[in-house]
Amino acid sequence: MKIKETLNKGLKREYELVIPADFIEKKLSERLKKLGKKAKVPGFRPGKVPLEMLKQQYGMEVLGEVLETTVDDGIKKIVQDNKLQPSLRPEIDAKKQYEEGKDLEVTVKMEVLPEVQEVKLDGMKIEKLIPKVDQKKVDQAIDDLAKRHRDTKPIEKARKTKKGDIAIIDFEGWVGKKAIEGGKGENHPLELGSNEFIPGFEEQLIGKDKDEKVEVKITFPADYGQPELAGQDARFEVTIKDIHEAEKSKIDDGLAKKMGFEDLKSCREAIEGFITREDKDLAFMHTKRSVLDRLEETCKLEVPDNMVKAEYDSIWHQMLHEAGIGHECSAASANGNKVEGKTFKDATGKTEDALKKEYEAIAQRRVRLGLLLADIGKRNEITVAEGEITQALIAEARRYPGQEKEVIDYYRSNNNALASLRAPIFEDKVVEFILSKAKVTEKEVTHDQLKDLLEVDEEMPSKGKKASAKKETAKKTAKK
């Protein structure tokens, strides 16, 4: 086996690998003899089949296996002899089709992981946000709960609907002549003025009588969560079956017990705890963002192109899927053609070229930070325990009520899926370690201030946030 380095530039490496014909023939014979011990050929006992006959019957199939194994062995030798760390699986380029009796010549191309210098964490300056419990938010949450648990009753005297009423409605919607999937409901209680449905929907039901049929015309928002409906004009036929009014709920121990608490005090403590935990998670997200920003600024690390491309392809295809864009839309956008009434810019708010530049920057950042975090974790022996992965798996399974077993079985039988649970745990543990070493200054913030900071983070896609089309979680089609 002959190996010759032909390229050594930056992180790129290329080698010429020549495997002698007699070596391949030897491996082929060994493999056929092993196969012959079990092969059943009419007229011959197992183990007694002539080699030439085995070669005629199984030669091409076995040759493919031998060539693949031999090349893999050659790659391993290249990696071991040169003490390389390939970033991804090396590429193989055969110079020509293999011919029996001749040497096999292939080119092995790869990129290697960069050498990461140890980061001086003790000099890193980080601002850590400390959420401050806002009692007004707790009061508002209790008010909202009281509103949701209040009793309603039909109006005693016939009158037209007004803001604040609960209209019991049947509805069905269409875009053009096509019925909207999920855009139909019966006996749905809708509080007028709650903004539960699409903007403009509820207002058209105010000033109407019981049993009145109303045609509601609306336009779905341009950033609606279901791309096929975004920006589309729609028509709903609505029947107001009854008009209810809500009774005012008293915020007391009785209300708390109705919600499953012992008393109002324990209810308030539970809500305060929930808001605090939620704000701490949000604050950590912002602090983590700051850590990653400082880390990237500190370490100007060259990254393998193939890792960047793999990351870019992943997030780009995810964006296309979430925005409801097919590949034909992407292709058509180059010359401004429309696909199903939309250009690429219609669907995402940006041109394809602009988004691609953003995503390339995001992919570069993700790969660079991934390498840096992995190195810090390795140097400081940061690991993820099995118990932590189990907790994450249970939390993931709980997101799918009734399908918990299927979710758990899927992750346990899929190493890549299980690794996707491990990765964020590891990342957060490394960030916590960095915070324990860095110069941290604490800043107390309210819930609203924290929300504003996170909105600023979202507006900076080049720093690593996903610059996909605006979207929201799709509720029932007729809802916002």
- Which amino acid type is present at position 433? F
Q: Angle at Cα 307 formed by Cα 304 and Cα 312, nearest 5°? A: 125
The Cα–Cα gap between 433 and 431 comes to 5
- Single out the residue of 376, 298, 371 nearest to residue 114, CA to CA: 371
Decide: 304 and 367 in contact? Cβ < 8 Å: yes
Domain-ending residue, one of 213, 247, 281 = 247
Mean pLDDT of 237-253: 87
Chain center to CA of 404:
20
Q: What is the pLDDT of residue 140?
A: 86
The Cα–Cα gap between 4 and 17 comes to 7
Q: What is the pLDDT of residue 287?
A: 92
> Would residue 57 count as lying in a domain?
yes
> Would residue 478 count as lying in a domain?
no
pLDDT tens for each residue of 216-239: 999 998 878 777 788 889 999 999
Q: Which residue has the tokens 């992407």?
A: 330
Shared domain for 338 and 397, answered yes or no, is: yes
> Would residue 128 count as lying in a domain?
no
Shared domain for 229 and 361, answered yes or no, is: no
Shared domain for 169 and 238, answered yes or no, is: yes
Top pLDDT among 220 and 330 is at: 220
pLDDT tens for each residue of 188-211: 999 898 888 989 999 999 999 999
Q: How many CB atoms lie within 10 A of CB 255?
A: 19
> Residue 292 corresponds to which tokens in the numbers above?
């990653």
Shared domain for 359 and 259, answered yes or no, is: yes
The Cα–Cα gap between 122 and 342 comes to 52
Domain-ending residue, one of 111, 141, 166 = 111
> Residue 245 corresponds to which tokens in the numbers above?
């009014």
Q: What is the pLDDT of residue 338?
A: 45
- Look at 218-232, 246-260, 326-340 and tell me which has the smallest mean pLDDT: 326-340
Q: Which residue has the tokens 């193939």?
A: 306
- Look at 249-258, 286-295, 299-308 and tell me which has the smallest mean pLDDT: 249-258
Q: What is the pLDDT of residue 51?
A: 72
Most confident of 7-11, 116-120, 312-316, 416-420: 7-11
Shared domain for 94 and 194, answered yes or no, is: no
Which residues have CB under 8 Å from 320's CB, separation 6+? 326, 327, 330
Shared domain for 286 and 411, answered yes or no, is: yes
Per DSSP, what are the bridge partners of residue 153? 245
Using a 10 angstrom Cβ sphere, with 0-12 exposed, 13-18 middle and 19 or more buried, the burial of residue 379 is: exposed
Residue 203, domain extent: 151-247
Q: Which residue has the tokens 């005693």?
A: 156
Q: Which residue has the tokens 């031999």?
A: 70
Domain-ending residue, one of 91, 111, 131 = 111
Shared domain for 230 and 361, answered yes or no, is: no
Q: What is the pLDDT of residue 333?
A: 46
Q: What percent of the chain has pLDDT over 90?
A: 43
> Residue 71 corresponds to which tokens in the numbers above?
């090349």
> Would residue 122 count as lying in a domain?
no
- Single out the residue of 358, 369, 384, 392 nearest to residue 289, CA to CA: 369
Q: What band does 53 get if pLDDT is binned at 50, 70 and 90?
A: confident
Mean pLDDT of 442-448: 88
Shared domain for 91 and 194, answered yes or no, is: no
Q: What is the pLDDT of residue 49?
A: 67
- Single out the residue of 215, 214, 218, 216 nearest to residue 241, CA to CA: 214
For the chain, the domain total comes to 3
> Would residue 121 count as lying in a domain?
no
> Would residue 14 count as lying in a domain?
yes
| 25 has a pLDDT exceeding 60 | yes
Shared domain for 368 and 419, answered yes or no, is: yes
> How many Å from the N-terminal Cα to the C-terminal Cα in the chain?
66
> Would residue 116 count as lying in a domain?
no
Q: Find the Cα–Cα–Cα–Cα dihedral 42, 43, 48, 50, rounded to 10°.
A: -80
| 88 has a pLDDT exceeding 60 | yes
CATH code of the domain in which 188 resides = 3.10.50.40
Q: What band does 471 get if pLDDT is binned at 50, 70 and 90?
A: very low
What is the edge-to-edge ordering of all strands in the sheet holding 12-19? 2-9, 12-19, 104-111, 91-94
The 3-class secondary structure across the chain, one letter per residue, is CEEEEEEEECCEEEEEEEECHHHHHHHHHHHHHHHHCCCCCCCCCCCCCCHHHHHHHHHHHHHHHHHHHHHHHHHHHHHHHCCCCECCCCEEEECCCCCCCCCEEEEEEEEECCCCCCCCHHHCEEEEEEECCCHHHHHHHHHHHHHHCCCEEECCCCCCCCCCCEEEEEEEEEECCEEEEEEEEEEEEEECCCCCECCCCHHHHCCCCCCCEEEEEEECCCCCCCCCCCCCEEEEEEEEEEEEEECCCCCCHHHHHHCCCCCHHHHHHHHHHHHHHHHHHHHHHHHHHHHHHHHHHHCCCCCCHHHHHHHHHHHHHHHHHHHCCCHHHHHHHHHCCCECCECHHHHHCCCHHHHHHHHHHHHHHHHHHHHHHHHHHHHCCCCCCHHHHHHHHHHHHCCCCCCHHHHHHHHHCCHHHHHHHHHHHHHHHHHHHHHHHCEEEEEEECHHHHHHHHHHHHCCHHHCCCCCCCCCCCCCCCEC
Q: How many CB atoms lie within 10 A of CB 349?
A: 16
pLDDT tens for each residue of 382-400: 999 999 999 999 999 998 8
Shared domain for 290 and 226, answered yes or no, is: no
The Cα–Cα gap between 42 and 30 comes to 22
Q: Is the dihedral of CA 277, 280, 286, 288 positive or negative?
A: negative
The Cα–Cα gap between 111 and 428 comes to 28
| 313 has a pLDDT exceeding 50 | yes
Shared domain for 183 and 99, answered yes or no, is: no
CATH code of the domain in which 82 resides = 3.30.70.1050
> Would residue 22 count as lying in a domain?
yes
Mean pLDDT of 353-377: 92
- Single out the residue of 157, 323, 151 nearest to residue 254, CA to CA: 151
Which residues have CB under 8 Å from 194's CB, separation 6+? 202
Shared domain for 195 and 328, answered yes or no, is: no
pLDDT tens for each residue of 148-196: 777 788 988 999 999 989 999 999 999 998 999 888 999 999 989 888 8
